[in-house]
Structure 1
Amino acid sequence: MPIFSQSFRLDQLQSAYAGSIVYPPGGRYGPRIQQDLQLVMLYTGEMTVTIDGRPLHVQPGHVVLLKPGHEESFIFSKTEETWHRWISVHVGALPEEMKHALYQLPETLPLTEEMNKLADLMLGLLRHVPSNNAAILSLGLAAIHLYPTETSRLLQQREKHPALHAARTWIHEHYADEISLHPLADHAGVSPEHLIRLFKQHEQTTPMQFVWSYRVNRAVELLTNTGLTVSEIAERCGFKTSHHFARLIKQHKGRTASEIRQVSWNG
């Protein structure tokens, strides 16, 4: 989507910011008038954003693109904590070609590791520098440009490898639930053997190894960004027991859950 790179430049940014918040069960926010371009990344719980009176339900593991000038209100899960992070950039008046490009994009996308890394970097830097620092502005611009890039990549995945895309999407949306190979293959519309071949060819792993790796990454995010107990995180991320959770965290990350949490809080 070249129109983005042509119409949205670093010198147009006035500020950029990133944040993280956990809402208690029954939490609400708004109404407000959105002032920025904002990416809201949902990790746990549930979120319905009402935009100019139109509700948009966002599932965990997804990012939603919010655009300036609209009235928004947020309703979070009634039964559990809802954790989300956001990246926002303030650009003032948007050129017409930029507005047109923005409204061609999907409102939500699956949350990718690249978007998570940008949020991590911004949150880390904002502890030491202001929101108009050049590095912060550059990361905010990168996040906004990443959204259309991920949109294009998602469309290519759907067209070239629909079964793989269907399986990945199912895992992202249901990783907290019980997942096994045969039902996953049924959802993707292929045999278990073919799904294994697809994952080995394009992800360099098996479907179930992908599931457990994805769960570990989501668990690490909860460890570093929330005060949830290890038992609560294990349950939310689909681990069988706290012992199973601890073993896989150590196996995948080389550190214990306590060490990961201590490093992130001390940092």
Structure 2
Amino acid sequence: MHQFINHLNSFLFGRYSHQKNNKYGPIPGPYFVLVYVEQGSCTVQYDGKEKDIEAGFCGAFASSESFTFWHNKHNKNTIISCEGYFGQMGLKSFKAITGIGQIMPISKELISLLNIGVSLNLNKNSNVRLIANSEKARLNMGIALDKGSDFLSKEYRNAIGYACMRSHSYELRKDDEHALYPNFLLVAKDFVDGNFNDENLKVSNLAKIATVSEQHLINSFYRYIGMTPSRYIWSKRAKYARKLLMETNLSQQEIAYNSGYKSTPHFCRQIKIHFGKTPNEIRNI
């Protein structure tokens, strides 16, 4: 058990509420977290990567450097987490049992396990997040926390933590289809890749093409691709528009039309949202 986690701190559980634009972090690594978004949304930034999680979804992440949690879309956001520092075999074991970075709809069983951790007040040591980014500081803080911890409480915490990790792993791998994109998702993704510049492209039409329900398509995009079909379409349009801005002399109106935007103002807003720069700023880079 202690090979996976830092035996001085064990698994930690917590429910955290944040307002829009709040950031928490960076939390120094090596660190792991299983996060479930109960309300709103959460962007997880770790080791140069970024994943968006919406309400009702969860994901498991590992970082050798640092974590940051960012809430930039909704006014009220609540997440439940199972987290901690790695032990001697931590990162290798974590990769084997969880599926790092994959986002999926959370199961009732996993919600129950996470709520057990929270309801039993097993997050009392959650200030471990404040440990400084050095081994000596982590060990010193761990020893201080451990002195006030009951052995049985730590064993409960570890048991529930491992159960959460294995539940998440099971949900990812319970069907062979989880290993590869299912055919209907490939059909939908390929259609978007070839038709994203159609301004009338809608998720409802995409679901009909893939012959699945709209909600199933949304869940599957989230599970395998890490974003909703709508966000995937917006991302394809924005990247294509940026390419045209940087490599052609087309006007903004022409680029908006060729990329699938309904109007030039809409195009400008979306480019600013995606890249943090206006079309003029991108063109002048």
Superposition TM-score, scaled by structure 2 size: 0.48
Partner in structure 1 of residue 88 of structure 2? 93
Partner in structure 1 of residue 36 of structure 2? 41
- Native 8 Å contact 2:14 2:118 kept in 1: yes
- After TM superposition, the runs of 4+ consecutive aligned structure 1 residues lying more than 3 A away are 9-13, 102-106, 127-132, 154-159, 182-188
Note the alpha carbon deviations across 1:184-236, whole angstroms, 9 max, x for none: 974861599xx9xxxxxxxxxxxxxxxxxxxxxxxxxxxxxxxxxxxxxxxxx
Specify every segment of 5 or more residues in structure 2 that has no aligned partner in the other structure, as ranges.
125-148, 185-203, 217-285
Give SS of 1:67's match.
strand
Matched, 1:143 2:138: no
Distance 1:95 1:64, change over 3 A: closer
Note the alpha carbon deviations across 1:137-187, whole angstroms, 9 max, x for none: 10111111222211102544798x988xxxxxxxxxxxxxxxxxx989748
Q: 1:27 aligns with which of 22, 27, 42?
A: 22
Q: 1:65 aligns with which of 57, 60, 66?
A: 60
Distance 1:61 1:155, change over 3 A: farther
Give SS of 1:151's match.
helix
Q: 1:120 aligns with which of 115, 120, 128?
A: 115
Superposition TM-score, scaled by structure 1 size: 0.51
CA RMSD of aligned residues (A): 3.9
CA distance in 2, matches of 1:72, 1:95: 16
Distance 1:102 1:33, change over 3 A: farther
Specify every segment of 5 or more residues in structure 1 that has no aligned partner in the other structure, as ranges.
1-8, 164-181, 196-267
Give SS of 1:118's match.
helix
Partner in structure 1 of residue 255 of structure 2? none
- Tell me how many residue pairs correspond in the alignment: 169
Identity level (%): 17
CA distance in 1, matches of 2:91, 2:52: 28
TM superposition shift of 1:77: 2.9
Give SS of 2:109's match.
helix
Give SS of 2:25's match.
strand
Greater radius of gyration (CA): 2
Partner in structure 2 of residue 189 of structure 1? 211
Give SS of 2:174's match.
helix
CA distance in 1, matches of 2:119, 2:82: 13
- Native 8 Å contact 1:42 1:61 kept in 2: yes
Distance 1:187 1:89, change over 3 A: farther
TM superposition shift of 1:30: 1.5
Note the alpha carbon deviations across 1:70-102, whole angstroms, 9 max, x for none: 322222034421111101244412267526526
CA distance in 2, matches of 1:104, 1:40: 13
- Native 8 Å contact 1:86 1:119 kept in 2: yes
CA distance in 2, matches of 1:146, 1:137: 14
Partner in structure 2 of residue 249 of structure 1? none
Matched, 1:83 2:59: no
